[in-house]
Amino acid sequence: MKKENDKLTFYRPDIATRQEIPVAGSDVKAGFPSPADDFLDLPLDLNRELVRNPASTFFVRVAGDSMTGDGIGNGDLLIVDKSIDPHDGCIAICCLDGEFTVKRLKLESDGVWLLPSNPAYKPIHAGRNNDFRIWGVVRHVIKSFK
């Protein structure tokens, strides 16, 4: 996208991981140079912070309230990275008997415990008789306030 063609002004800014790099003191023609010029940093990019590995990161939506104790509520957005190896105690998206579910994992020798964090729900044991797979590890939760 060339700058000189940007005569129309009604475009929404394309913020999809594009960062303009600030140019030091570009507007200062004369006079006192900005004392901040020696301390220039890049602006913060949420994409870079929350999406470490774009090729393996997926966004999914939560339906249900079994994980409220971990701050995961109905309608929240989860950022899931499939490239991370699941570890004991991580929160993960699992496929249990053909359905996606989000739970905290407790890995044990005889299977996996899926732990809810709302006392209204009971832990689920996924053993040899279940069709069970870990789909991806949840790295972040995004809540939006109305």
User: 96: which strand partners?
Assistant: 99, 132
Q: Does 44 bind another protein (CB under 8 A)?
A: no
Pick 8 or 23: Cβ nearer another protein: 8
Residue of the chain from 3, 8, 20, 32 that contacts another protein (CB under 8 A): 8
- Regarding 17 and contact with another protein (CB under 8 A), the answer is no
Separation between Cα atoms, residue 39 and residue 83, nearest integer Å: 35
56 counts as catalytic: no
- Say how many C-beta atoms besides its own lie within 10 A of residue 24's C-beta: 13
Choose which of 79, 121, 140, 141 interacts with another protein (CB under 8 A): 121
Tokens of 5: 């063609």
Q: Is 109 a catalytic residue?
A: no
Residue 133's nearest CA partner among 90, 89, 92 is 92
Would you count residue 1 as binding another protein (CB under 8 A)?
yes
Q: Which residues are catalytic?
A: 66, 103
